[in-house]
Amino acid sequence: AQTVTQSQPEMSVQEAETVTLSCTYDTSENNYYLFWYKQPPSRQMILVIRQEAYKQQNATENRFSVNFQKAAKSFSLKISDSQLGDTAMYFCAFMNFNQFYFGTGTSLTVIP
Amino acid sequence: GAVVSQHPSRVICKSGTSVKIECRSLDFQATTMFWYRQFPKQSLMLMATSNEGSKATYEQGVEKDKFLINHASLTLSTLTVTSAHPEDSSFYICSAPGQGFENYGYTFGSGTRLTVV
């Protein structure tokens, strides 16, 4: 069975600073996808970034980037130049065979 | 991009009544819809997977007679909470694979907050 672990229940960062959210997963599969989703107070799930396991290059989306270490089964999210709008719950997710497995989430607060 | 419209966003119902939650894919065909339940400050827990034209697949521990799922068309999936009780109060979210994974990934509805009184 696939499991996703987020070991940081809560984090905070000063506005304009950089923060890294951790995620590890366990799987015996070789082909899969990894995601970070953001859930602001509105509860709408918003895709932040995704990574295909077969790609060695780390994904980047503007201020968001990941550090994907396949051998270590690690998938951390780095948020640069943090903004107040980044305050939200962040979920790491693993997907294969059309099924998602979510981590328990990290509550991120950006401090003005 | 792909949009999943979920209604209602909030519903309050009396104990013992049934509530229907709808999820529509607006600009793509969703042959599969995932239904999740989320308790406050917790992660999303997959309840069931609905497939157009076939019976839904329920996760272990989810009562299929209580949470009725119907995937009547390629654009509509519904979740009906039957004989609702206060312990069914929760946030329910649907999700569908977008059209062309490389372009859209998976799209989530905006969620339904159900309160049973």
Length of chain A equals 112
CA atoms within 13 A on the CB side of B11: 25
Q: Which of B43, B46, B97 sits opposite A104 (nearest CB)?
A: B43
Q: What is the mean pLDDT of chain A?
A: 94
pLDDT tier, B98 (very low <50, low <70, confident <90, very high otherwise): low
Size of interface A-B (CB pairs under 8 A): 45
pLDDT tier, A86 (very low <50, low <70, confident <90, very high otherwise): very high
Type of residue numbered B47: M
**Spatial distance between the Cα atoms of B23 and B9, rounded to a whole number of angstroms:** 11
Q: Smallest Cα–Cα separation from A6: which of A109, A69, A96, A90?
A: A90
Q: Does A109 touch chain B (CB under 8 A)?
A: no
pLDDT of residue B46 exceeding 70: yes
Sequence-distant (6+) residues with CB within 8 A of B67 are B35, B47, B48, B58, B79, B80, B81, B82
Matching residue, tokens 């497995």 = A101
pLDDT tier, B104 (very low <50, low <70, confident <90, very high otherwise): very low
Contacts of B101 in chain A (CB under 8 A): 33
Q: Could you tell me the two tokens for A18?
A: 């950089």
Q: Could you tell me the two tokens for B67?
A: 């949470």
pLDDT tens, residue by residue, B10-26 = 999 999 999 999 999 98
